[in-house]
Chains A and B, each alone.
Chain A
Amino acid sequence: MTKHLMSQFDADLNEIRSRLLEMGGKVEKMITDAMRSLVERDSELATHTIDYDHEINRLEVEIDERCLEVLALRQPTARDLRFITLALKIVTDLERIGDQCRNIAKRAQELNDLPRLKPYIDLPRMAVIAADMVTEALDAFVRGDDQAAYAVCRRDSEVDLLNEQIHRELLTFMIEDSGTITRAIKVTAVAKCLERVADHATNVAEMVIFMVKGKDVRHTSALENQPQ
């Protein structure tokens, strides 16, 4: 895309892109750290992760302000308008992901005080996929790449399957031994948090498709709408 005649306009938009990527990077780190604090039973890392949420919230406020500024001062239209309004929504999704990571870290703290329930295999897998989805969705937004966004939407089902698997497995545990119930419920909660993270990443991806195509695929099956 060619540049704006007002070079400052491009500078403003690039600033927002950079901040979003920064926020995405930090959120991704939170996902990884939260999972590690659980798997490695590192409660100190869990505490650090909980505090780190302030950083995410700070970025939310900053990006919101910059977007407001662009709306007031630049009168963006068409693609630029979609970019700004979607940046505002994406910031909310990223902030929610931060909150989910905080919740994971809290559950980790609680679980680390109790004997380990079982080796965690599927949970870390979920976390890796969810973190990838966040990164790829944001990259897609910044690059305006709808194909990459569709790819993110498709991965959501992987996460959903893992979540179901974990539920089933833990259900078996709980039925067999009621002493595991407290821990199993907490682990289930962690899986739910990761499933929510993946959903938020999918939201971002759907918005990218809207921004690029001007086509709203939210609340539909994205696969139905994908071009051949």
Chain B
Amino acid sequence: MHSTAQLYKLKLDKLNVHFGSARAVKDVSLDFPVNTVTAIIGPSGCGKSTVLRSINRMHDLIPDARVTGKILLDDEDIYARKVDPVAVRRRIGMVFQKPNPFPAMSIRDNVISGYKLNGRVKKGDMDEIVESSLKRVALWDEVKDRLTSSAMALSGGQQQRLCIARTVAVQPEVILMDEPCSALDPIATLKIEELIDELKDQYTVVIVTHNMQQAARVSDVTAFLYLGELIECDVTKKIFTNPAKSRTEEYITGRFG
């Protein structure tokens, strides 16, 4: 049930992730406001990607991994016993660092692929879904005349936008992004950042990035993780002009990390 007065879409409650005996994420409690972009920053190995992957239950696929604590999507724990992880992943989409369109599929089939996997599609609806998803990511004009051509013919930036189109086609509520621009050139990066700014109207976005300046440009809220712990989380402007914790300031100013 979706409350119109809802402030937070997603809440992490004392999240812990162990890989074997190693504790990668330690008691992280973090709330993600609805229709905002939250950036998770921190040095390599701080646990930010691990936290992200907990949110759409990717660690279920790793035998060694153990997730404890709660993750609430609209106040319901996605790790509760009766919850289907596939259903979770339909509501919480993920975009990865390296654009990964399906190589054997056309642009069109790529967009619709996630939709097909999650339910039946009427033929008439397919075209509409493809067009609206590609328009959503500002890719439609560039590819509308070659929808049946291979996705691999697109540039890196276009491929990444295609992956985002694939993600939004299934109408998720949350979009997770794991360093979505790391493999892209600066201009493609800015275009994706502008897209992220537009996406928050409809979705709640969580982006993991090692690029602090990107976090500053693109997010409304920034969370700083260090050695598996949440050090500070606040409005982005405050984090980058006057953070509360000295550890945060040391990282942001490039004094360590």
Contact = CB atoms under 8 A, between A and B. Distances in A.
Interface string B24-56: 000000000000000000000000000000000
Contacts of A5: 187, 190-191, 193-194
Contacts of A74: 216-217
A8 interface: yes
Nearest to A8: B197
Interface stretch (B109-117, B223-231, B234-242): B234-242
A6 interface: yes
Contacts of B191: 5
B196 to A, nearest CB: 10
A73 B216 contact: yes
Given A5-B187, A6-B217, A72 B241 contact: yes
B3 interface: no
B4 interface: no
Contacts, number: 31
What bracket does the count of chain A residues touching chain B fall in? Answer: 10 to 19
B241 A68 contact: yes
A73 B236 CA distance: 8
Contact of A6 (B197, B236, B240, B241): B197
A6 B193 contact: yes
A56 B240 CA distance: 27
Contacts of A158: none
Interface residues of B, number: 13
A69 interface: yes
B217 A73 contact: yes
Interface in A57-92: 68-69, 72-75
Contacts of B190: 4-6
Interface string B230-257: 0000001100110000000000000000
A73 B240 contact: yes
Nearest to A9: B217
A75 B216 contact: yes
B21 interface: no
B217 A75 contact: yes
Nearest to A68: B241
Contacts of A221: none
A138 B209 CA distance: 40
A6 B191 CA distance: 7
22 contacts: A5-B187, A5-B190, A5-B193, A5-B194, A6-B190, A6-B193, A6-B197, A6-B217, A7-B194, A7-B197, A8-B197, A68-B241, A69-B237, A72-B241, A73-B216, A73-B217, A73-B236, A73-B240, A74-B216, A74-B217, A75-B216, A75-B217
Interface of B: 187, 190-191, 193-194, 197, 213, 216-217, 236-237, 240-241
